[in-house]
Structures are given as structure tokens and as C-alpha cells.
Structure 1
Amino acid sequence: MMDLDDLDRGILRILSRDGMVGAGELGRLLGLSQPAAWRRVKRLEEAGVLAGRRVEVDRAALGFGVTVFLGVKLATRGRVPLEDFERVVSAIPEVQVVQHVLGLFDYRLRVVARDIADFERVLRRRIMTLPGVGTVEANVLLTEERRPGPLG
């Protein structure tokens, strides 16, 4: 585990809100020169603390107005290997996240759809027909608040 100082935490806070901020802007916000900010970001990347920068897509702007979290319990009879289930469910474009979890369900999926009718189509035609699927529970996302996490 890497020891982080206040400047490192500041960099992580800023980049967690906007991963596209450059070293010059980071330096300006934190009172560092651009090269010093760049060296710190590079050190955080090399230590594995920064694992990448992502662009966030506004799903609603693309016409995907419904997000559903699915709990999926695999059937015990004729059990499909976990890797096989993960491979086929990951190939469904509407499935944005596949999480293998411990608890009541084996998997938690984040599924996006244009509307409830579109979600029902994805559920019936794509997810429920996958080999090994047993019980499925759906939770429709109403609102989402993003928090910066323990560094914020």
C-alpha cells in the first residue's frame, strides 16, 4: 500500500470527479507546477493507485432512460461453469456491469434499456434464455447520487 500525502489525495479527488483533467490544471488547482503534478500522477499510476481514466457517457442522452439492477441466481441442476455464464452475459450489449457476488444471488448485473418495455424484451429474450439462469430479481434505479468515496 502506498503512503499518500495531502497533494496525492487532492489529485485523486480531482481526477475521481473528472478523469480528463490534465497535469497543468491539476497543478493550478493544487499549487504545483505542471511537471510536478505530472510526476505525481505518473507515480500514482505506476503504484497502481490510479488504474485508468474513464469517460462517463450520459445514458439518458443516448436514449437509455431505464437502469435495472438484476440479481441472478444460477440454477443448481446442470450447473453451468461461472466463466461460461460471465462470457455469455457480458456479450449482451445492454448489460453494462457483471459482478460476481456473495449472498442471496450469484451475480449482480447493471442493465440499461430505452424504457420498461425494452427492458422486458432484454430480460425475456436475452437474459432468461441464458444457460444456467435460475432465479432473477429486478430493482429499477430511480435516482443515483455519485459520491467521491473515502478520499472526498
Structure 2
Amino acid sequence: MAENTQIDDLDRGILSGLMDNARTAYAELAKQFHVSPGTIHVRVEKMRQAGIIEGTRVEINPKQLGYDVTCFIGIILKSARDYPAALARLESLDEVVEAYYTTGHYSIFIKVMCRSIDALQQVLINKIQTIEEIQSTETLISLQNPISRTIKP
């Protein structure tokens, strides 16, 4: 496991600025922090190389694309050795947008997004519950997502 990389207040400021708007120009960040654009560039590149910055992403509003149902499904596997095969099958399903290997009651906890309850029912019956390695599932439907954020640097 990699050692945690130490960052200073300038790095934190740069990360916060980029998290607010990843399209912020380095020159604009440089003015804000009273340093040169070259300094911003060097700091960003160091944080990329250290794995702190993993990429730049476009955030999509799923509801605007018609995905009205978000749910979380706890999965109990038949055996711990079934994890790799079950994960491969889950990864092939477009509706599965996140997966976590967990301790406790469930072996895997997934986030699923569908256009409707009917679509969710079809995903459960025809896709997830047909995975041989899965013993059972429990589905929790999300009513809203009042907090959605990443960790502060």
C-alpha cells in the first residue's frame, strides 16, 4: 500500500479550486494564491504523479437523463471464493454504477441506477439474481440524496 502523500495549504487550495470547477485555468488559480501559473502546473503534476489527482471528470445529472430510481443492494455470496466471479458479472451490468467489497452482513454492496421501478425489477430478476454466485440480496431504494460530496483535501 502506498504511503500517504503530504500536501501543504497551497496544494489544498489548488485541490479545492479544481474540485469546485475542474476547468479553472491555472492562471486564475495562480492569481488567487499569489503564485505563478508554472507553480500551479508543477503542483498539479506532482499531485497527479502521487495519485492524489486521478483524473478530470464530467458530472452528469442522472435524473436529467431519465434515471429516476437509485437503490443500494446488499449481496450475500454463496462463498467468499465466489467474489471474483460475482464481481466480474456485476461489472458487466450497466445499471451497476458502484460496488464495494464489505465486511459485515453483506459481501458486496452495490449502487444501481434505473429509469423506473419496473426497470429495477427487471434488473433484479433477469440480471442480478441470475448470477450463480449470489445466495441472496436485499434492496434499499433511495428516496433522495441530500448529501453528495467528496472528501476535503
Determine if the TM-score, normalized by the shorter chain, exceeds 0.5: yes
In structure 2, what is the Cα distance between the partners aligned to 1:147 and 1:71? 22
Matched, 1:9 2:15: no
After superposition, the CA RMSD in angstroms is 1.8
Q: Matched residues, percent identical?
A: 27
Which of the numbers 130, 141, 147 marks the counterpart of 2:149? Answer: 147
Where do 1:52-91 residues align within 5 Å?
Answer: 52-76=55-79, 81-91=82-92
In terms of mean alpha carbon deviation, does 17-26 or 125-134 score higher?
A: 17-26
In structure 2, what is the Cα distance between the partners aligned to 1:15 and 1:108? 30
In structure 2, what is the Cα distance between the partners aligned to 1:107 and 1:51? 24
Cα displacement string for residues 8-29 of structure 1 (whole angstroms, at most 9, x for unaligned residues): 1111222233333332232233
Cα distance, 1:148 vs structure 2: 4.2
Aligned residue number for residue 127 of structure 1: 128
**Paired positions, count:** 149
Task: Give the TM-score, by structure 1 length.
Answer: 0.88
Which of the numbers 44, 47, 59 marks the counterpart of 1:44? Answer: 47
Cα displacement string for residues 93-116 of structure 1 (whole angstroms, at most 9, x for unaligned residues): 111112111111000111000011
Aligned residue number for residue 95 of structure 2: 94
Counterpart contact for 1:13–1:148, Cα < 8 Å? no
Mark the runs of 5 or more structure 2 residues left unpaired by the alignment: none
Cα displacement string for residues 130-150 of structure 1 (whole angstroms, at most 9, x for unaligned residues): 111112111112222123424
In structure 2, what is the Cα distance between the partners aligned to 1:33 and 1:49? 21
Task: Give the TM-score, by structure 2 length.
Answer: 0.87
Mark the runs of 5 or more structure 1 residues left unpaired by the alignment: none
Cα displacement string for residues 5-58 of structure 1 (whole angstroms, at most 9, x for unaligned residues): 111111122223333333223223333322211111011111222122222111
Note closer, same or farther for the CA distance 1:131–1:11 as it changes in structure 2 (3 Å cut). Answer: same
Aligned residue number for residue 137 of structure 2: 136
What is the SS of the residue equivalent to 1:49?
Answer: coil
In structure 2, what is the Cα distance between the partners aligned to 1:125 and 1:80? 23
In structure 2, what is the Cα distance between the partners aligned to 1:29 and 1:136? 50
Counterpart contact for 1:70–1:139, Cα < 8 Å? yes
In structure 2, what is the Cα distance between the partners aligned to 1:148 and 1:108? 19
